[in-house]
Structure 1
Amino acid sequence: MNSSTSSSKTGGAGMLAGPEWKVLLSLALLLLGTEVVLRLNERRLSVDVDHIRSAPRLAGEITQDAKALPGVLKILFMGNSSIRRGIDAKVLEEEFRVKYGRAVKSYFFYPDGGNIVAWRWAWRRYFAAPGCRPDLVVICGGASHFDDGKLDPRLLASYYVSAEDSWDCAWRQLSGAEERLEFFAAEASLSYASRKRVARRVMDVLMPHNREVLFEMVSQAEKNAAAHTKAPRTQAPTSEALRALLQDLRGKGLKAAIVAVPNLNGYEVPPQRVRTIAEAGAAFIDLRTVPGIDAAHYFDKAHLDAAGAVIFTRALCAALQEAAH
């Protein structure tokens, strides 16, 4: 009887093991399939993803032009949506040609939500190759874009940090085991790194106006929080990521300029940051206020309309002409 009972229990365990393994195998195949589909179609997730993934092509173009266009001033702009909308490339090139008698070719890397953390690591991943030598690297931002801070570990791993820099970034840029685990998981799995973007695309289909509603909700929440939070900042923001990027550029013998872009609300630039820029041998271009640009030239607090972009671009050209010498 004991033998029979034991055999019965063993058989029951074996019957359970079969379905369990089938479930696990199905999940593994589902994850693998998702990974393959995303790797083949990731660029369709958004215009921003396509732009970031085009960075190696952009770096290759700069490398080719360094040899093919020796007399042309080649300017790489790094920033975010504030320059995607705020700099008119045609006006910039025409202004240089007519006003300064110089041929210019501009290149742009401006991921949505880009800040100094993203630009610092993206430079190393995409543009630090020996042959990629723009004549001038112009890094544009406003308000807090140059403050040392954090970026989503999944975005860092998937879009900005190279495999060679992954350990250095994980220990230097991130804090805590959870953030580092997220970072390495996103580095290994595109489906993990992209799950928020995928979720947004699904919601766009199910609820076409959900982004506008969420934007209004977040904006109102921020206004309410600001109204009840009057405590002043007790410590000035630091600029170590900016310092590291400028040191990389200087080490390659490249000229660099930091541009403070206009914002409807205005903002301060810490004196320590200006000193950091000067110590690195870079130019600081203060265009927070540009003559001719007023509130009517903004379609929101941070982005210029087309007319404002023309005015800003022309003002920028005059400053870049000096920085390029």
Structure 2
Amino acid sequence: MIAIGLEGSANKLGVGLIRHPPKGGPAQILANIRHTYNSPPGEGFLPKDTAKHHRSWVVNLVKQALKEAGVSAADVDCICYTKGPGMGAPLQSAAIAARMLSLLWDKPLVGVNHCVGHIEMGREITGANNPVVLYVSGGNTQVIAYAEQRYRIFGEALDIAVGNCLDRFARTLEIPNDPAPGYNIEQLAKKGKHLLDLPYTVKGMDCSFSGILASIDVLAAQLKANPNQTDALTGEPITAADLCFSLQETVFAMLVEITERAMAHVGSNQVLVVGGVGCNERLQEMMGLMAKDRGGSVYATDERFCIDNGIMIAHAGLLAYRTGCQTALNDSTCTQRYRTDEVLVKWRD
């Protein structure tokens, strides 16, 4: 069976085609194409501009994906699209494109939860059996474990997501958004030497990132006003790289703490890191050290599958379609608030 997936929940428009073998076995990725809307340095991306980008590019990306996969519309069994969560206008643009293809090709629709798409793609690529999942992206921060056909949320961000925290600090520093603000923060952090004191807010299994963002913004403003500031202990100058380093170390330590607590609670020794922030090498390293101390292992994917993409929507949608799940045309809506634990995961025991 072959599915096409359309992902457009944020600034990345993804189109993917995947084939599931008839008798099980690993899925075959036929095409995985993505195009990103990037705003100027110091600015975020507005929903209306992002939606316009998606509408402008979606037809070309679908044609390109079909050509790369070497299949025709007749070969496709179902059309999968991101139902939510995400930004309203971009989600609607991808959903309209999916409905258009459904009517044009006379194929069934499958609405997919964005978070479940990340999890199932991560499980497929890494081979992780039943891991605790850390889902970290620009719009979501959740610690998840599977039980009784649901992905249960054990902990999450109480305010802004960790990716949003990093992205907004990139705006403060006015560093480029290309290829991604979080990636550029990561590269700067590798040059940092001084760990500055920042708020560390873990409340049970939940985290808060707005306070640390406010504090690091104050330090950035002070550094801009007085570039000759020095570290109180070493006397060495403080740089923007030190701010990025301190921010990463603090927020990632918070994530490692709540993930370890979830592992202890469910008795798992596997951690799967998914979502755009999951590409961060320092987060993977810190999570790996924690898992090693517990006699476990950490699983992660590269930017092809960590960053939002159409193939994860196609994969999760096809899993659901094979269990009889379809989305009627009248119900093919979007929602910005589509919880991970609302999805009945019928394809898992």
> Normalised by the size of structure 1, how large is the TM-score?
0.26
Which structure shows the bigger proportion of residues in strand conformation? 2
> Normalised by the size of structure 2, how large is the TM-score?
0.24
The structure whose RCO (Cα within 8 Å, separation 6+) is larger is 2
- Larger Rg over CA atoms: 1
Which structure shows the bigger proportion of residues in helix conformation? 1
